[in-house]
Structure 1
Amino acid sequence: MSIPIDEVAVALKASIERSGLHIEDEALACAARATEGYAYLTQLVGYSVWRVARRHATTSLIISQHDVKEGVQVARDEYERAVLDTALADLTLPSVQYLLSMCVDEGASSTGEIARRMGKPTADANSYRRILIARQTIEATAPGYVAFSMPRMKEYLERNKDRILARYGR
């Protein structure tokens, strides 16, 4: 379940100000949006932005848009290593192919369409769907439809498809 972005912004601002720093409104909005309402990303973004800003805290106590941009990139890199890589690490090739088949769609994917793309009977594809749901990598959004439950998973899969498939000798 995602946290509303306005609540993320309030929490980030309070945490930053407790540490003695301040953040520009535009920078705060950017940092809050970068979390996508995901609790772990909220922690990573907050910490990474704060850490970047602390490097110049002797000259400025204000977190700028530049600080946020750098901190968000650090947080995303760490999130990919700690969360997305780990989520994919021990999946079978068909489970990864299921996820890659979802990348074609904007928003939720039809489970029947995923099976067709995979060239598998629907019952076979559904076994991979159940595994991925149990691992909280995807979620059912309506009968016969699934979506990624982890923020940035689709973009990560698209960007790293060749590297991921190489793990399986593909």
Structure 2
Amino acid sequence: MSVKTIEDLFIHELSDIHSAERQLTKALPRLAKAADAPELASAFEAHLEETNGQIERIDQVVELLGIKLKRIKCAAMEGLIEEGKEVIDEVEAGPLRDAALIGGAQKVEHYEIASYGTLCALAKQLGYKDAIPLLQETLDEEKATDEKLTMLAESGGNARAARQAA
């Protein structure tokens, strides 16, 4: 990674989150299939549609700014997805697995929130006025998804998992 300017950093961060989002489009169907609660499966399926829209927005930013993304693989997302696979393999299907899947999904959302927050700040610094609304829209979606996951956990998911263990 050769990052020498703030523009280089912006392109690197945008390339990294592009890779992360593309990896996530492959992982979300597995998570939906592994979820026991129908509302959790639906949340993963809805986030897949949203993620595809977020990739389209990244492509719009690239086109608007006339930049070229780097061909990199987001190691952080790769690790988070691997953790999700371990949950699916090691935790029996049911409320406990759902609780673990929600926790893992929130780790993903927090990574994405940090990434898009950074990109918004860099875009402001660079004067990329047309890119900021696109990045902010995705940041807002990631925050909303995190809130939905919290609500799923608090509205009974974690309590069902606790009863299962008792």
Relative to its length, the structure with more strand (as a share) is 1
Q: Which has the higher contact order (CA 8 A, sep 6+)?
A: 2
Relative to its length, the structure with more helix (as a share) is 2
Q: What is the TM-score normalised by the length of structure 1?
A: 0.38
